[in-house]
Amino acid sequence: MRLPRTIAPAICIALLGTITACVPPSSDRDGGDNDGVDSSAQVTGQVLDPAPATGTPAEHIMLGLILDTSNSMDGLIDQAKSQLWNIVNKLSSAHSGDQRPSVQVALYEYGNDRLSGRTNHIRQVSGFTTNMDEISKALFALTTDGGEEYCGAVIARSVDELPWGEGDGDLRMLVIAGNEPFTQGPVNFGQACERARQKGIVVNTIYCGEHNEGINSSWQAGAIAAAGDYFSIDQNAITMQIASPYDDELAQLEMKWNASGIFYGAQGGYNQANLEVQDSNGKSLGKSTEASRRSYKLANSHLKQDWDLTEVKAERLEEVIKGTDKATLPPQYRALSEPQLKAEVERSMAEKERLKDRMAILTAQREAYISTNSKTSEGNELENALLASIEKHAAQRGLHFGKVISLEAPGNTSSQTVKSKD
């Protein structure tokens, strides 16, 4: 349970890695010594052969994060905050042909004395949601306290409690991280993982410590039981936060882009306020996290159509305005007639597109600058490899990845993508 805080920078890499299928040398696949593994690697893993593709297009990508919040896990929480946006950026770029599956994330905490022993020290922090600001808010609210870590119990609860759906092509994943033996608690982990496997849920495990120690304490066995991947963490790995000459202008443009939105409906004001809080939280973690969050917001702005009039499709705009309670609008729009409000929304839409186009150019320049000028670090090299290997894991469901250049809601066949090279 007691883990040095020096592990914090490595957790982010492992959290990403467990969603992937990054294949190690054959000796590591047998669970033995890491002969032949590059000594600079900060994460090692046990990866199973991929399941055959179903042939059914994925409609949903469902990711459940299970985080140990005992005393030793402040670093895990800190890095989960930072790496959330890299994870969902990658997953939200998935496509099968012209179809983009929705991405849903759920969050559990376990192993915390503040949580009731009657619930095995487990709490569902958030059920599945497409609103990643809510997941970010929940991560920033987590605190640690000593407790008992029951891996089997929390896996069983998340498998049974969350609505995983029945789509044959859907990608379902659990990621559990911790550093106590996987065998602790009243629920047999093998039975819990078998239930996950029967529902088509891949269970990926992160052991926060030495690789073979994780094997000996059954973290690898847990992954194997649910056809998932086992990873351990090198506490010396680091994740870089890199600034660029384009960051200031990007931040200014993002503020204008936020201000051009027009919230509406019962949750509109709350969601807009939370968006601004999570912008501030992302900024507090460093330039790379801020940039990653910004990229996610711009690429997935269609998810705001239920509470931001400027994200409503043009053909539905009049209908939505007609049905909107004007008391839920920002004060400056409440006295407008429906035609006047529509004209204001359309003006803001045009402004947001102009800002988005400029930010897309600057973001590309930022990425090129970092690629050319940043010092290579072992941690970043591995992170890039793990992000790329998400494609292999998702390929089991016929998913590919590319940069979406014409954004529509998931499932809309008019979306255009630039496909990445396989």
What's the CA gap between 112 and 145, in Å, rounded?
A: 5
Q: What is the mean pLDDT of residues 170-182?
A: 91
User: Within 10 Å of residue 408's Cβ, how many Cβ atoms?
Assistant: 15
Reported pTM? 0.82
| Across 216-242, average pLDDT | 79
Is the pLDDT at 407 greater than 50, yes or no?
no
Q: Which of 237-246, 294-303, 377-386, 407-416 has the highest mean pLDDT?
A: 294-303
Distance from C-alpha of 177 to C-alpha of 161, rounded to nearest angstrom: 19
- How does pLDDT run across 25-59, given as a tens digit for each residue? 333 333 333 333 333 333 455 444 444 455 677 88
Give percent above pLDDT 70 in the chain: 76
Question: Average pLDDT in the 95-119 region?
Answer: 92
pLDDT at 268 over 60: yes
What is the average per-residue pLDDT within 203-231?
A: 90
- 413: tokens are 């066949």
Q: Residue 382: pLDDT above 70?
A: no
Residue range 300-355, pLDDT digits in tens: 999 999 999 999 999 999 999 999 999 999 999 999 999 999 999 999 999 999 99
CA distance 368 to 191: 48
Pairing of strands 60-68, 171-178: parallel
CA distances in angstroms from 334 to 158, 177, 256, 262, 337, listed in the order given: 43, 48, 21, 11, 8
Q: Is residue 22's pLDDT more than 60?
A: no
43-46/416-419 β-pairing: unpaired
Tell me what pLDDT residue 390 has.
Answer: 64
Nearest Cα residue to 10 out of 385, 379, 388: 379
When pLDDT is cut at 50, 70 and 90, the band that residue 233 belongs to is low
How far is the C-alpha of 14 from the C-alpha of 389, rounded, in Å? 13
Calpha distance 231→13 (Å, rounded) = 10
- Phi-psi map region of 411: left, alpha, beta (phi>0 left; psi -120 to 50 alpha): left
Residue 299's pLDDT is what?
A: 94
Q: pLDDT above 90 covers what percent of the chain?
A: 58
How many angstroms separate the CA atoms of 270 and 363, rounded?
28
What lies within 8 Å, CB to CB, of 263 at 6+ separation is: 269, 271, 272, 307, 308, 309, 328, 329, 330
User: Would the pLDDT of 385 be above 70?
Assistant: no
pLDDT of residue 275: 98
Cα–Cα distances (Å) from 134 to 130, 176, 264, 306, 419, in that order, read: 9, 20, 18, 15, 30
Query: How high is the mean pLDDT of the chain?
Result: 81
List the single range of 11-20, 197-206, 275-284, 398-407 with lowest mean pLDDT.
11-20
> How do strand 230-233 and strand 201-207 relate by DSSP bridges?
parallel
pLDDT band at 238 (very low <50, low <70, confident <90, very high): low
pLDDT digit string, tens, across residues 114-137 = 999 999 999 999 999 999 999 999
Q: What is the pLDDT of residue 392?
A: 64
Report pLDDT for 128: 98
Query: What's 5-233's CATH class?
Result: alpha beta
Map out the domains of the chain as residue ranges.
5-233, 247-373
Tell me: pLDDT of 400 over 90. Answer: no
